[in-house]
Structure 1
C-alpha cells in the first residue's frame, strides 16, 4: 500500500485464520477460511466464488458464530462480505 491509500472501513479489522462455512438458504454450502473479520464484515478465502447466491450465512462453528451476509467484492479465490 502507498501512503495515499484511503481506508474505507468503518470498523477495525481483526486478522484471524478460522475455518468457516457459507451456508445457503435452500440448503448446502461451501467451506471457507476466514482471514479477517470486523463487526461489519469479513474477508474469506474460498475455492470458487463463482455462483454464490446473493445472500448466505457465515458460520464459524469454533466460535458459535452465525451471521447473515452478502458478497461485496471478489478477487480470484477471495471475497469480501458485509454482514446484514
Structure 2
C-alpha cells in the first residue's frame, strides 16, 4: 500500500470528543493523529457535520477539522 499522507501519524488510544459548532457533540476514541489529521472511532458517522472540533481534554488539545472519509464506525479527519 502506498502511503499518501504528508505527515506520519502516531498511533494512540485516547478518549476524545467531536464538538459541533452549533452545539452538541459525540464521544470518540482517537486511534492515530498527526499535525494534519486523525482517525477516530465513533458510534456512527451519521449526523457528523462538515466541520467540528476534535477535543482531547487530557492533552488540552483542540483542533478544528472536517471529515474526509468514513466507514461504519470510523472517521478520517483533516485539520484546518
Match of 1:73 in 2: 69
Q: How many residues align?
A: 80
2:3 aligned with 1:30? no
**TM-score, length of structure 1 as denominator length:** 0.94
Query: Which is greater in Rg?
Result: 1
Task: Provide the alpha-carbon RMSD of the alignment.
Answer: 0.4
User: Distance between the aligned counterparts of 1:8 and 1:18, measured in 2?
Assistant: 24
Return 5+ residue gaps in structure 1 as ranges: none
**TM-score, length of structure 2 as denominator length:** 0.98
Return 5+ residue gaps in structure 2 as ranges: none
Offset from partner CA, 1:5-30 (integer Å, 9 cap, x none): 11010001100000000000111100
Match of 1:7 in 2: 3
Offset from partner CA, 1:40-78 (integer Å, 9 cap, x none): 000000001011110000000000000000000001101
Name the SS for the 1:6 alignment partner.
coil
Match of 2:14 in 1: 18
User: Distance between the aligned counterparts of 1:8 and 1:50, measured in 2?
Assistant: 26
